[in-house]
Structure 1
Amino acid sequence: MHRLLISSSDLLDKLITLFKTALDNEQPAECQRICYLIRHWIQEFWVMFRLHHNLSDNLDQFREFIREQGQEHLCSFLETKWINERDWSWKASQKIKANCSKKRKVSLLFDHLEPIELAEHLTYLEFKSFCRISFLDYQNYIHNCCMKDIPMMERSIALCNGISQWVQLMVLSRPTAQLRAEVFTKFIHVAQSLHLMHNYNTLMAVVGGLCHSSISRLKDTTSHVPSEVTKVLNEMTDLLSSCRNYDNYRHAYNRCTGFKIPILGVHLKDLISVNEAMSDYVEDNKINVQKLQALYNHINELIQLQQIPPRLEANKDLVHLLTLSLDLYYTEDEIYELSYAREPKNFLFFVNLAPKPDPRTISKHVQRMVDSVFKNYDHDENGFISQEEFEKIAASFPFSFCVMDKEKEGLVSREEITAYFMRASVICSKLGLGFVHNFQEATYMKPTFCDNCSGFLWGVIRQGYRCKDCGMNCHKLCKDQVAFECKKNTKVTNATDSPTPSSTPVSMGGFGVMRFITTINYFSDTHVHALSHSRNKCVSLPRVPINTHSHLK
């Protein structure tokens, strides 16, 4: 685990320095202990000595130094010639590149296979991919906090994504809703078999494909799916939910013994959490050995699972065919195009029936605004402000019309200002102006569904987008297709605080009234006070952008 703090070359230099110090102090036992440590390093992590040539060169120089000091018997501990004879089963420099020239066809040759057979062969592929990830790969991931330049992890993620896409395309390849429902049902049974085999990573991929919005939006298809199948899907979704840091999955995973394939993303997240939560050094600038031990235990647990192969026999020809089928390279847009081709979106035209404004609510907000105006502008407290000052205030609102000065004295009374805002609320209400959604990427801590297509928001983090104003949740590709106007919901909580779908946002009296009230809330006492300091300057205040919500309270 030293590579998280210092390089291998620096570690070797420190050990050589300790060896020389022990040699000068005539401590042969200490010299031997250092050589034993280096031997353990070479035997357990020989890959590092093969990857880093400077490490091997420094070790050769160290052996020469030992011989010169008459310690020939210690050189045998530092021998590395046998490393070149080890089987090099993978190339560290190998990069995964999408081969766009491949034929992108969905194989339908798996209809004759039972769900258990598909589950077994998918598990066979998953286990092979999982076993390729080495101890060194996990260390690189912790050090870099990403999978870039870690080909074995990239390959594992690519396999998982390929399975998810393959499931979607197998369903969408069928021309009728009834046939699509049959394929959907079959993959639910595949998911059940994967669960029984404790292959949670592939289970995540299959369920993710079935819950993807390109599938969940198919209303005709889901209407043909039996209720018991839908119940099983809900159980699987709940099992793999990210709620309470994947609590359901962790309990199920810990109960399993023997063979099991973990959800790689969850355990990689744990590694990063431990690395960030614990400091590298403790008092007196000493290395935090407890942190390195905790990281080692997490990694070693994953490595030990590679030593327990699944009890199944795979057909090599079928494995090869399945591998080719999973190598699809379809884009999200192409899958959505196929989904809409199967079941076009029904555009329903709604009549915008805004509820009648609540006079008490409007009056309360208007009175609050008027009080703020007079608090900051009516310095002599005579109940009037100048026409010029009020025009500066009115210029910052998304509506504008003449203000009547009944007495023609250049002064505006409290009653006139109140009437101005009450008239503005009526005009905005008649216009029926609604808010545009203010979508922001969000992480959900419990199962959440898209309010546009009803599909499950799948993923570990940043599963979808959430409107900051009304609480609507949707997929990335659905946020630009939402047909419902936004109604500000004053009770919306943060997405990370267990958000729930909000299909009926709270309204306070119509779209136009909501715009008016929100503008008043924006134009609080602080803003009015700021304007009062600039009333003597010849500047025109900018209008508040109609669709800007990031500045609204």
Structure 2
Amino acid sequence: MHWEKLAMPSCSWASLEDPLDSGKLVKLCAESFDESGDPKNDFPHCLFMVGEWLMETTELMAQFIALYQESSGECRSQICHAVAYWIRHFPVHFDAHVQLCKLVERLKKLASEDSLDDTVINELDVSSVPSYAWLRNVSVRNPVARHVSLSFEQWSPEDISNSMSHIDYKVLSRVTIPEIKKYMKTGKLNQTPVLERSIAVFNSLSSWVQCMILSKNTPKERADVITKFVNVGKHLKKLHNFNTLMAVIGGVTHSNISRLNKTHNCLSQETKKELNNLTNLLSNQSNFGNYRKCLQEIGTKFKIPIMGIHLKDLIAWNGNGMNFEKTGSITLKKIFQLGHLLSYFLGVNRSGHNFAEPNMDLINTLKVSLDINYNENDIYDLSLKKEPRTLLNFQGSGKSVVFAEWASGVCQAPDTETVNKHISAMVDAVFKHYDHDRDAYISKEEFEQIAGNFPFIDSFVTIDVDRFVF
């Protein structure tokens, strides 16, 4: 929903263009609640969403306490309703934040001393805030108890898209407002490692798609892989996962792949049509007009937007001169605009996904594929090897597909501990599904199946005639 369609607060002392300091912001927020504790407009949600952008959460909470001490009667209950709303709708702000929770307890004590209604006091409870430890950890295992093939050849497009979506969801959910704001200030990705990692995963996924296509020897085999990824793209669109969709289609339409005329001649008309539709959806024409229109049609349903597009929108907005840290004030119009822009980031809106249950064995196998540092020149050389350049299809070396110019070349290698963890989890998965006699070995044929997931991987070590291990 566009910010202008949100319910604005009705206030005689604050118009859309009036600059408001932090004290006035919390006052307006408190006044936005009725006697039953329900918000009368969208301002409270917007303020708590952008609060981390404007100031520290402890500073915002301190402002509510200061207002409480200055107020009396019904206004004090409204302040408690506001903080209770904050806890209910943005619990991640309070998880493992000791100082913020202590301030909530202080407000609760004040409300109790003033004999406010028990219902109001009991709402100020941070003891039952859910844990968001998974946002701070590298990964969380939640295996599904079903047998699954770990060979790309046998993965269904639905399995691939669902697993990719789980990976992207967790990576993007870790990109928080402080991380985004720091990038706005410095413009340097190496100072925002979580954001840099999310871009690296995007680029690695796009490169992996290219490599999977180029790993096949015949045009027909390569066309079959392209068809599979187009079907993956169709399912990603159904899941409203546009960020991963951009990475996959970016890989399929990369110049390293689009130059393969013999391969594309083997594609069916239906696949060409579907690929064209997905390409048009993600086209940058009219500032990604088709994509933005699709987002509007989805409305409030769960979606994973293309982070790079909305980060560029935020950069453009941030360049318009608003600096709360310097001026100590911001207009309502700017707050609603900022809230609208930040709502596209999973790490801000905290929307729950609608994906099927994850299969961690398949996901861990994919993670290892994405941990590989793909070299752009090697991929281009492989493309030339599969279909050598001719006078009819001469093209220069293509650049890596990324979702924003500033992300070009980002292929951050994860730390050794992360790589080892992913590899260990993948090895466990392989032996769980293929070592049927539990003798700690699997056959050469099974190894070759799994090796197909890693186009540039070195040959496996032969232990004896019919036994192979990693």
TM class by shorter chain equals 0.5 to 0.7
User: Separation in 2 of the partners of 1:44 and 1:193?
Assistant: 30
- Checking the alignment, whether the CA contact within 8 Å between 1:95 and 1:151 is kept in structure 2 is no
- 1:89 aligns to what? 133
Query: Using a 3 Å threshold, how does the CA distance of structure 1 residues 177 and 451 change in structure 2: closer, same or farther?
Result: closer
Match of 1:165 in 2: 207
Corresponding position of 1:194 = 236
2:150–2:365 Cα contact (<8 Å) kept: no
Taking the TM superposition and a 5 Å limit, the aligned residue runs for 1:304-319 are 306-307=351-352, 309-310=354-355, 312=356, 315-319=359-363
Structure 1 residues 268 and 216: alpha-carbon distance in aligned structure 2, compared to 1, 3 A threshold: same
SS of match in other structure, 2:316: helix
Q: Give deviations 1:3-50, integer Å, cap 9, x for gaps.
A: 32333333334333333333xxxx344344334433433443343344
Find the counterpart in structure 1 of residue 383 from structure 2.
Answer: 339
- Counterpart CA distance in 1 for 2:75 and 2:199 is 46
- 1:331 & 1:4 partners in 2: Cα distance? 37
1:47 aligns with 2:92: yes
Query: Separation in 2 of the partners of 1:33 and 1:81?
Result: 18
1:261-340 pair list within 5 angstroms? 261-277=304-320, 279=322, 286-300=329-343, 306-307=351-352, 309-310=354-355, 312=356, 315-340=359-384
State whether residues 35 and 77 of structure 1, in contact with CA within 8 Å, keep that contact through their aligned partners in structure 2: no
Give the distance between the partners of 1:326 and 1:222, measured in 2 at CA. 26
Q: 1:189 to 1:294 in 2, by over 3 A?
A: same
Change (3 A) 1:299 1:225: same
Cα pair 1:261 1:305 within 8 Å, conserved? no
Residue 259 of structure 1 contacts residue 305 of structure 1 at CA under 8 Å; is this kept in 2?
A: no
Equivalent residue for 1:371? none
Matched with 1:16 is 65
Partner of 2:278: 236
Structure 2 partner of 1:256: 298
Note the C-alpha offset of 1:227: 5.7
CA deviation digits over 1:105-158, x for unaligned, max 9? xx992223444443344345445555x357xx1464246426667676555444
Task: Give yes or no for contact 1:159–1:326 (8 Å, CA) kept in 2.
Answer: yes
- How far residue 203 of structure 1 moved from its aligned partner, in angstroms, is 1.8
Distance 1:108 1:343, change over 3 A: farther
Distance 1:463 1:298, change over 3 A: closer
Aligned to 1:3: 52
- Letter of the structure 2 residue corresponding to residue 329 of structure 1: N
Q: Which of 453, 456, 466 in structure 1 is aligned with 2:396?
A: 453
Change (3 A) 1:208 1:128: same
Contact 2:226–2:252 (CA<8 Å) still a contact in 1? Answer: yes
1:88–1:276 distance in 2 versus 1, CA, 3 Å: same
Query: 2: CA distance between counterparts of 1:233 and 1:143?
Result: 37
Kindly report which structure 2 residues correspond to 1:133-212, keeping only aligned pairs within 5 A, or say none: 133=174, 137-138=176-177, 140-142=179-181, 144-145=183-184, 153=195, 156-212=198-254
TM-aligned CA distance change 1:108 to 1:183, over 3 Å: farther
Structure 2 distance, partners of 1:463, 1:452, is 24
Tell me: CA distance 1:287–1:255, structure 2 relative to 1, closer, same or farther (3 Å).
closer
Per the TM alignment, residue 177 of structure 1 is displaced from its structure 2 partner at its CA by: 3.6
CA distances 1:357-412 after superposition (whole Å, capped 9, x unpaired): xxxxxxxxxxxxxxxxxxxxxxxxxxxxxxxxxxxxxxxxxxxxxxxxxxxxxxxx
The question of whether the paired residues in 1 share the 8 Å contact of 2:211 and 2:379 is answered with: yes
CA contact (8 A) 1:165 1:209 kept: yes
More helix by share: 2
RMSD of equivalent CA atoms: 4.4
Q: CA deviation at 1:77?
A: 5.9
- Count residues in correspondence: 341
TM-score with structure 1 setting the length: 0.50
Aligned position for 1:527: none
Q: Which amino acid is the alignment partner of residue 462 of structure 1?
A: E
Describe the superposition over 1:493-534 as per-residue Cα deviations: whole angstroms up to 9, x where unpaired: xxxxxxxxxxxxxxxxxxxxxxxxxxxxxxxxxxxxxxxxxx
Q: Which whole-Å CA distance do the structure 2 matches of 1:53 and 1:314 have between them?
A: 32
Runs of at least 5 residues in structure 1 that lack an aligned partner in the other structure: 97-106, 349-449, 466-474, 477-553
2:83 paired with 1:38: yes
Contact 1:127 1:261 in 2 (8 A): yes
Question: 1:198–1:260: 8 Å Cα contact kept in structure 2?
Answer: yes
1:259 CA drift (Å): 5.0
For residues 80 and 150 of structure 1, the distance between their equivalents in structure 2, rounded to whole angstroms, comes to: 33
Q: Note the C-alpha offset of 1:309.
A: 0.8
Kindly indicate whether the alpha-carbon contact (under 8 Å) linking 2:160 and 2:232 is maintained by their aligned counterparts in 1: yes
Query: Given that residues 275 and 291 in structure 1 are in contact (C-alpha distance below 8 angstroms), is that contact kept between their aligned partners in structure 2?
Result: no
Which moves more between the two structures, 248-257 or 44-53? 44-53
Query: Match for 2:336: what amino acid?
Result: Q
Shift of residue 286, structure 1, vs aligned partner: 4.7
**After superposition, what is the alpha-carbon deviation per residue over 1:230-272, rounded to whole angstroms, capped at 9, x for unaligned?**
4543333222111111001122332336454322222333334
Check if 1:462 corresponds to 2:405: yes
Q: Deviations over 1:160-185 (max 9, x none)?
A: 33321221111111233443233223
Give TM-score, length-normalised by structure 2: 0.58
Aligned to 2:3: none
The equivalent of 2:6 in structure 1 is none
Contact kept, 8 Å, 2:53 with 2:177, in 1: the verdict is: no
Structure 2 gaps, min length 5:
1-49, 140-148, 411-470
Q: What is the SS of the residue equivalent to 1:82?
A: coil
Distance 1:215 1:268 in 2: 28
Q: Distance in 1 between matches of 2:220 and 2:312?
A: 40
Q: 1:63 to 1:123 in 2, by over 3 A?
A: closer
